[in-house]
Amino acid sequence: MSTTEALPHDTPPADDGLWRAGWYRFAKALPSPNFGPRPAGAQTDLIVLHSISLPPGEYGGDAVQRLFTNQLDWDAHPYFQSIRGIEVSSHFYVRRNGDLWQFVSCDERAWHAGVSSWRGRGNCNDDSIGIELEG
């Protein structure tokens, strides 16, 4: 059991060298504006894995980072028109080469799961960590 698991849910973990305020030290931090507070009493006990590439089937560019930070050029590719204006984020994004990006503190609610439910609970964003895998 880690130190943070042993703490009451409303007690923020101390800086342990790996984590600071929900940010992982070894991830490239690129803060997204697309997040919010977790509801009172939310227990972060779910990981949601996604597969993403932008445009679909293309890898290695910076479109995912731009999407999660509201900087995507909607006119840069025809596919982007179908998602124009969407505001989404994830806690983490893992590139095919192993690079790790973080967009939202794990203490906050990222906007990755949309309309969702798991184990009888709605809105999985409330109690999950979102991890996007490139492709």
Catalytic residue, chosen from 58, 87, 108, 132, is 132
For the chain, list residues with pLDDT below 70.
Answer: 1-15
The domain ranges of the chain are 44-135
Which pLDDT value is given to residue 16?
A: 74
132 is catalytic: yes
Task: Tell me if 60 sits within 8 A of 96, measured CB to CB.
Answer: yes
pLDDT value for 15: 64
Backbone angles phi, psi at 20, to 5 degrees: -140, 115
**pTM of the full predicted structure?**
0.86
Distance CA 100, CA 24 (A): 10
Beta strands in the chain (DSSP E): 19-20, 23-24, 28-29, 35-36, 46-52, 92-94, 100-102, 109-110, 117-118, 121-122, 128-134
Provide the pLDDT for residue 4: 34
Per-residue model confidence (pLDDT) at position 121: 87
Q: Which CATH number fits domain 44-135: 2.40.110.10, 1.10.3370.10, 3.40.80.10, 3.40.50.1100?
A: 3.40.80.10
Q: What pLDDT was estimated at residue 119?
A: 87
Q: Give per-residue pLDDT as tens, 66-92.
A: 999 999 999 999 999 999 999 999 999
Return phi, psi of residue 6, to 5°.
-80, -15
Angle made by CA atoms 11, 12, 13, in degrees to the nearest 5: 115
Looking at residue 9, its pLDDT comes to 41
Q: Determine the longest span between alpha carbons in the chain, in angstroms.
A: 49
